[in-house]
A and B are shown apart, each in its own frame.
Chain A
Amino acid sequence: DIRMTQSPSSLSASVGDRVTITCRASQGISNSVAWYQQRPGRAPKLLLSAASRLESGVPSRFSGSGSGADYTLTISSLQPEDFATYYCQQFYTFPPTFGGGTEVEIK
């Protein structure tokens, strides 16, 4: 299975900050990465697929980039509703696997 390693595991930030979360795969995954947001007590929500494709209804302050084995999720200006845990997921090979999550907390 492909291992997905996220960093940092948690971070503290203020409203308006730019936040970047990194995901490194154990091998190249050819942009086959998705990002999810999970608020406490809720199911994960798909934000981006194919590394940089924003899902319908997701604010444009979210963006994704990367290539090979390294990918990033960026929130350009953190909003109060963005405090949550974020997960990356690869769908390059079977089985799909998830990163361990990055918790974004209020500073």
Chain B
Amino acid sequence: GENVEQHPSTLSVQEGDSAVIKCTYSDSASNYFPWYKQELGKGPQLIIDIRSNVGEKKDQRIAVTLNKTAKHFSLHITETQPEDSAVYFCAASVKAAGNKLTFGGGTRVLVKP
């Protein structure tokens, strides 16, 4: 089955700097890669996603890149703000019965004012 590795596990950045989180996946059939943000005590919320036929996608300060050949994808947050502090999860899935997502281990991001 699919295996998703996420790095780093913790990330501390100064407000205004950029944050980058990287994930690798094992199943070449995976074709959908969402990123979720989880604040303390809450459920994960989708922040951005990318499909395998796209190499890059941007939404304001957040961007995601995908390298299908290398089987890795990354989340980029620019001009970080204190409210960006949270745990971020990457995931991968194959569009098939069940539409199951396999999640990475998460990255705890701390933005220092």
Partners in one complex: no
Contacts from B to A (Cβ < 8 Å): none
Contacts from A to B (Cβ < 8 Å): none
